[in-house]
Amino acid sequence: MLRIVAIYEQLGGGARRRKRGEQYSWFLDELPEFRRDVLESLRQPLEEGAVTIARAKRTLVFPARCRLVAAMNPCPCGYLTDPKGRCRCPPAKVAAYLSKLSGPLLDRIDLHVDVPAVPFDVIGRAPEGESSAQIRARVLKAQAWRRKRGQQHSNAQLRSKEHCQRILRLPGPRR
């Protein structure tokens, strides 16, 4: 138990008491800089929304639903994909850096987005995007639509194909 608490402390979770049903959002910047055992410990809460602790005669399951958002560079210096070729990282160093992230952990992250560097002058000319209020309104509308169709949980919480088909009323496989 102490090890689990220590691992989540390293993630910056703190020791705040959770309210029932509350969901953590973790933003892990520089993902490969975290210890590998810490990163691997995220697999169970990401997959099952729970942490299981087994001791001599007891097994305890704690709710641990979380939303993980992470960022990382393509290499230790951050310039691997730079068009000006500024990266000086040896291939072995890049491989070691990327190997901190296991396939099973990456499989549990639903969305991966490559974001190339944008020159400063281009950023200044970029059109303004949506405001947070506009995005919030769109999210609330989607949640209301979900509840209207009888779905209590978000799509991210749908676990099995059967669950998805029952909740979303998708047709089964063709025979």
Q: Which residues bind Zn ion (CB under 5 A)?
A: 75, 77, 79-80, 87, 89
Separation CA 74–CA 160 (nearest Å): 33
**What is the closest distance, in whole angstroms, from the C-beta atom of residue 33 to Zn ion in the complex?**
14
- Asked whether 49 and 64 are in contact (CB, 8 A), the reply is yes
Task: Find residue 61's DSSP bridge partners.
Answer: 52
38 vs 94, beta carbon nearer Zn ion = 94
> Strands 24-28 and 50-54: what pairing?
unpaired
**What is the closest distance, in whole angstroms, from the C-beta atom of residue 14 to Zn ion in the complex?**
33
**What is the closest distance, in whole angstroms, from the C-beta atom of residue 47 to Zn ion in the complex?**
32
CA angle 70, 76, 79 (to 5 degrees): 95
87 vs 109, beta carbon nearer Zn ion = 87
45 vs 76, beta carbon nearer Zn ion = 76
C-alpha distances in angstroms, 89 versus 57, 58, 72, 102? 49, 48, 15, 21
Cβ partners under 8 Å of residue 82, min gap 6: 117
12 vs 85, beta carbon nearer Zn ion = 85
46 vs 75, beta carbon nearer Zn ion = 75
**What is the closest distance, in whole angstroms, from the C-beta atom of residue 152 to Zn ion in the complex?**
46
Nearest Cα to Cα of residue 161 among 152, 171, 146: 171
- Asked whether 14 and 79 are in contact (CB, 8 A), the reply is no
